[in-house]
Structure 1
Amino acid sequence: MAVWALGINHNTAPLDLRGRFAFALDQIAPTLNGLRSALHESTRSNSARANQTRGPEAAIISTCNRTEVYCAGDEHALDHTVHWLASAGGVSPQLLRSHAYTLQDGLAARHAFRVASGLDSMVLGEPQILGQMKDAIRVADQAGALGTTLNQLFQRSFAVAKEVRSSTEIGAHSISMAAAAVRLAGQLFEDLSEVKILFVGAGEMIELAATHFAAKNPKGISVANRTMARGESLATRFGGEVMRLADLPARLHEFDAVVSCTASTLPIIGLGAVERALKQRRHRPMFMVDLAVPRDIEPEVRALEDVYLYTVDDLATVVQTGHANRQAAVAQAEAIIDAGVQSFMHWMDQRGAVPLIQQLNAQADSWRAAELVRARKLLARGEDVDAVLEALSRGLTQKMLHGAMAELQAGDATAREHTAQAIQKLFLRKER
């Protein structure tokens, strides 16, 4: 069984390219079906086994900072996976390859373990990625895209992440995206208690951001969301108001700070709307944070003189504060991950012997059944019980040793010597 991974993240690809490969959670199941069908079809001509298997296993992890595809099958199919993902994102395979990383077997497992443990995140040790991975794997499982191999890979990655977080200080003092946004806002506004804030969206990231900003007791909190009920629930929690997303352009000027993170595939805050808002505000500054991938706020807004726009990539410098102080914890975490990778690869190696073990068990069961049938016939004829048991045991022993005895008599001297050594290991081991 082969395992491989293909991905892009905040270290390898710019924000706009990552946006092309962003999959909302409800898009993952149909996307996985398409991926598995494409891989199954592409390997059909390369392997006779392709017609005998249920198709490659697959999982997709898509967050603001990364999109990663994990697969398992009879043979590696990285080239086919690259072409499929490039087509899904509407780019050439060459462009995707220039920004992607491809990993196989142990390296793929190591990467999954590091991602789950927060070692590959923009925010070192941040805990959100683990929840996002669990959600993605749950969706893949429900879609029937997981098999034994990927299920083992990710369950072990979750266990490793739990050990890393409980045994090291990898997450100590980590600054989340939301906390970084508050820090930047505090550098622009002298007193955050005089600031009116608009949150666009009502998902996990916005909820986290609202929690951090609410702790500063802002002058007002508003939530704009496509679904009013969900937006109202979040606004009520922080003593704010809810507004329709359609009303956002007309009311944008009311807010000093805007934090947006929706699943929209197109920007929902355009350059024109921000220009009109600034004019109504008489060019009082606006602080804007776009945490969405793809973008919620048109990138041209950054050029406006009185707007301070930050994206997830812009927050990188802020969230790296204290990074050097956690290098000892990183070393501890890497040691835990090393042990996890070795354990997984050992399990993979053992999986390779499963078909042979199944054949051996089937053969032994066949011999046993044949001897039992013969023994029952002898007993039915009134044969002595001890004699029947003796014949049964002798028959089983002869069947088990026949192949080994035949091999000892076959081949040249070198082959017979190798056979003899193997037989000694298999049949003449001393009981401990």
Structure 2
Amino acid sequence: FEDLSDIKVLFVGAGEMIELCATHFAAKNPKAIAIANRTLERGEKLALRFGGEVMRLSDLPDRLHEFDAVVSCTASSLPIIGLGAVERALKKRRHRPIFMVDLAVPRDIEPEVKALGDVYLYTVDDLASVVQTAQAHRQAAVAQAEAIIDAGVQSFLHWMELRNPVPGALGGVVPLIQQLNAQTDEWRAAEIARAKKLLAKGEDVDAVLEALSRGLAQKMLHGTMAELRAGDAESRALTAQTVSRLFLRSQSKNSL
């Protein structure tokens, strides 16, 4: 659900997992929240925290039809939401769909419920598959980011090698190229580390790659920009000529 303002959510259980789920759902401002638990005391604490109501597990068969989404995670050794209870709930709802998530092991919701046409039931196995897919996607994105940076760095260094260096600068051409390699490797590592953190948080891949490329470009150009703003008018003009010769592609030549 993108908009929970008209959604009534039922949480079955009152353990740590349900508390985490309820925290997430409550932040989306659902129409109503209810906690069903074997002991009312624990359920009341969660219900009070999230502004919801509390009920006993024994009330589930008579109240299930009231809720659009059900998240269950108890320590029960047997299912507590059966096929018959869900069928009756759907009938009372005139077959308006119910979204159900079973996070319990063993399961709280009978597996046969998944076959009902108006129920969207997801289990731990389904969620594990989603997580694995997301992780694979993030790993592919990291590899893509690394490839982009490597290509950019190598292109930049190759381009610098083809320019005429200042004689004697930093002890000669080879030491200068070595220092450039070391500097760009440092930039690369920093940007990759930042991209991995963002991807691990679930940030949009395209946005992360865009930020990565911008960050690398800013690092490469920072020193040059600082030099262009430093010194007197004559030194700035000389720096501008050098930067123009080194960095700006000629309109009459193909880019390298």
**Contact 2:97 2:118 (8 Å CA) reproduced:** yes
Please tell me whether residue 305 in structure 1 is matched to residue 117 in structure 2.
yes
Please tell me whether residue 323 in structure 1 is matched to residue 159 in structure 2.
no
Q: State the match for 1:208 in structure 2.
A: 20
Cα distance in 2 for residues equivalent to 1:204 and 1:297: 19
Aligned partner (choices 90, 100, 111) of residue 278 of structure 1: 90
Alignment of 1:233-382 (within 5 A): 233-320=45-132, 321-326=134-139
Code of the aligned partner of 1:284 = R
Structure 2 residue runs of 5 or longer lacking an equivalent are: 144-256
Alignment of 1:350-429 (within 5 A): none
The number of equivalent residue pairs is 141
Write out per-residue CA displacement over residues 333-382 of structure 1, whole angstroms, 9 at most, x where no aligned residue. xxxxxxxxxxxxxxxxxxxxxxxxxxxxxxxxxxxxxxxxxxxxxxxxxx
**Contact 2:3 2:28 (8 Å CA) reproduced:** no
Please tell me whether residue 224 in structure 1 is matched to residue 36 in structure 2.
yes
Structure 1 residue runs of 5 or longer lacking an equivalent are: 1-185, 330-432
Q: Report the Cα offset of residue 263 of structure 1.
A: 0.2
**Contact 2:81 2:110 (8 Å CA) reproduced:** yes
Alpha-carbon spacing, 1:256–1:324, altered in 2? closer, same or farther (3 Å): closer
Alignment of 1:74-223 (within 5 A): 186=1, 191-223=3-35
Write out per-residue CA displacement over residues 118-153 of structure 1, whole angstroms, 9 at most, x where no aligned residue. xxxxxxxxxxxxxxxxxxxxxxxxxxxxxxxxxxxx
Code of the aligned partner of 1:244 = R
Cα distance in 2 for residues equivalent to 1:281 and 1:325: 40
Q: Secondary structure at the match of 1:197?
A: strand
Write out per-residue CA displacement over residues 53-81 of structure 1, whole angstroms, 9 at most, x where no aligned residue. xxxxxxxxxxxxxxxxxxxxxxxxxxxxx
Q: Report the Cα offset of residue 318 of structure 1.
A: 2.5
Q: Report the Cα offset of residue 326 of structure 1.
A: 4.4
Cα distance in 1 for residues equivalent to 2:138 and 2:84: 44
**Contact 2:100 2:122 (8 Å CA) reproduced:** yes
Cα distance in 2 for residues equivalent to 1:243 and 1:268: 14
Q: Secondary structure at the match of 1:313?
A: helix
Code of the aligned partner of 2:120 = Y
Q: Secondary structure at the match of 2:126?
A: coil
> What percent of counterpart residues are identical?
80
Cα distance in 2 for residues equivalent to 1:303 and 1:203: 28
Length-normalised TM-score, structure 1: 0.32
Q: Report the Cα offset of residue 315 of structure 1.
A: 1.2
Q: Secondary structure at the match of 1:243?
A: strand
Q: Secondary structure at the match of 1:315?
A: helix
CA-atom RMSD in angstroms: 1.7
> Greater relative contact order (Cα 8 A, min sep 6): structure 1 or 2?
1
